[in-house]
């Protein structure tokens, strides 16, 4: 893409929003971790068949 737009790496890095992308990636990882953790805690507390019904 940089060759097609004749943009240099220095110009690209100046407008690249790495911190915002990093924050969104961390939010996604945390939400996935929490969903797995909550479901595993639910299965540990209940019978597996009852937990799957819920």
Each domain of the chain, given as residue ranges in start order, spans: 18-54
Q: Which residues in the chain land under pLDDT 50?
A: none
Residues 8-23 pLDDT 10s? 888 888 888 889 999 9
Residue 45 backbone dihedrals phi, psi, to 5 degrees: -80, -30
At 30 the pLDDT is 98
At 35 the pLDDT is 94
Scored b (16 or more CB within 10 A) or e, 24-54 reads: eeeeeeeeeeeeeeeeeeeeeeeeeeeeeee
């Amino acid at each position: 893409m940089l060759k097609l737009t004749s943009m240099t790496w220095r110009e690209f890095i100046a407008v690249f929003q790495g911190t915002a992308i990093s924050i969104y990636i961390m939010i996604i990882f945390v939400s996935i971790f929490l969903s797995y953790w909550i479901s595993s805690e639910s299965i540990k507390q209940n019978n597996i068949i009852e937990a799957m019904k819920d």
